[in-house]
Structure 1
């Protein structure tokens, strides 16, 4: 009642901004970036410890949020989520989600985590030498609310030309299988091969609408959850050769049901709300 009274009397005009106060300063954020750049392979606990020693007392969750996304990327995620806030599950069911994922022979040790942003993949500070590299394969896949499409095992590095071959021989069959003659919207991230001008022309020539997508947003892509499911199943298979690894991946992918896919697509409105609540920061998804 007091708040209503103040509003009617005009006393609420010019009041200070409400909401939780930001727990770190811009200077503190710059300090964290310097700590990360010294050693990209530190654990989240190590980063928090060094940041605390520099005078910034905060939680592990805050450290995680500050490292992965810069302010511009967070704002783009928030803007994107706000634009999609009122999309229904039926609308999300029209989206064909896609992604690439790497599968290694050594599932017990997936290697050290490196803290890096888009475009820093090949930086020397983001690379760590190893005595022995486990054999691995890169896989492309797509999914919708109706199920999954055929997998593509990628040979070599993906450039615009090879990516368009994947679209031609695997994305189009996936769309045919999952949508038939119905219209759909295609989703992929902002990898260089995906955002190349020739790739954009390929979509235009084929009359396919591409969903705009914010950078560094795996938490918004439900196919990431499918990759996790496949990798968990592979821990039990324990393949010994690349052929066995590929066969195990295909078998695990084929076991994914339309019901699982539909549940993941149905989570999209919740993912959107989570991004808005987090003001663009990474979410639990």
Structure 2
């Protein structure tokens, strides 16, 4: 392996010390370089009178500046393009380079291949609603968020599946809409659960098939109201107190007419929530904590899965839930900064 060449300042220091009649051994020790290196530089100066490095021969660069710009342009325009597709595009204009060369040019411009982040698809209408919600609630005090009972449903799987894609992007641009893939909720799972939490801790974790008459995980408005009747008031009383607000997303069973009448009859205050805003709901990160705690567990069936899931949910500490709820201002600011698009949360 070729050693690194000395800088011009070091070479000049060698000449300067030699003029002071310093021996080669002392010069080498002072500048922390090899004695042979010092000797070679002195001989070169004596022979040629030059200290600059001679130009080394090497293979000519395979791409021109124009080719490099074309490679970058293809990635910026279509971040999901592959190296093979870029190679084929270059061949169409008469540029024949290897995939390794294309990768090097991208790496030199600080592009790396990353797995895409999966984010909800946000329509223009929902972007506007998210922005309005964020601006309206950005300055709310911490007590406002402490009085909210956060609710949602989640899938807990026995076996995880992974549909990852890779994308060319620069560091720090993971959540740019051009660099994320879209997801649609409720794509199947082993058990479906409803849960609630507040800043003071986690509440109930209810499995849907334990509530439905046919033991299925399909939850309709009737099943949803049964769960709310049994769990909202006790959890709110324990975690918050008499004055509380229920948060839930805009799932059809949550917004059904009978559900709205149910809330009105109970005289519970419900927060108006923008659609496709799971990144604003701190309970989503609590679910992530739950599933992280389940890693390493090996339940053999649904019943064992339910048991370990309840234990993991109850093991989430008050400090963790408090930290999640207190992140609301940062979440809202992120929505504003992203102009309504999905955020890093």
| TM-score, structure 2 normalization | 0.58
Going from structure 1 to structure 2, the CA distance change for 1:67 and 1:219 (only over 3 Å counts) comes to closer
Q: Output aligned runs, 1:1-285, within 5 Å.
A: 48-49=80-81, 68-106=121-159, 109-112=160-163, 115-116=182-183, 136-155=190-209, 156=216, 157-180=218-241, 182-285=242-345
- Higher RCO, 1 vs 2 (CA within 8 Å, ≥6 residues apart): 1
- Answer yes or no: is the 8 Å Cα contact 2:118–2:183 preserved in 1: no
Paired residues in the alignment total 219
DSSP 3-state at the match of 1:142: strand
DSSP 3-state at the match of 2:149: strand
Deviation track 1:98-148 (CA, whole Å, cap 9, x = no partner) reads 110001111xx3343784558xx7xxxxx8xxxxx9x71111100111111
DSSP 3-state at the match of 1:140: strand
When Rg is computed on C-alpha atoms for both structures, the one with the higher figure is 2
1:257 shift after superposition: 1.1
Unpaired segments ≥5 residues, structure 2: 1-77, 90-110, 165-180, 210-215
- Answer yes or no: is the 8 Å Cα contact 1:104–1:110 preserved in 2: no
Q: Distance in 1 between matches of 2:224 and 2:195?
A: 12
Unpaired segments ≥5 residues, structure 1: 1-45, 122-126, 128-132
- Answer yes or no: is the 8 Å Cα contact 1:88–1:269 preserved in 2: no
| TM-score, structure 1 normalization | 0.70
- Answer yes or no: is the 8 Å Cα contact 2:142–2:326 preserved in 1: yes
- Answer yes or no: is the 8 Å Cα contact 1:102–1:137 preserved in 2: yes
- Answer yes or no: is the 8 Å Cα contact 1:98–1:143 preserved in 2: yes
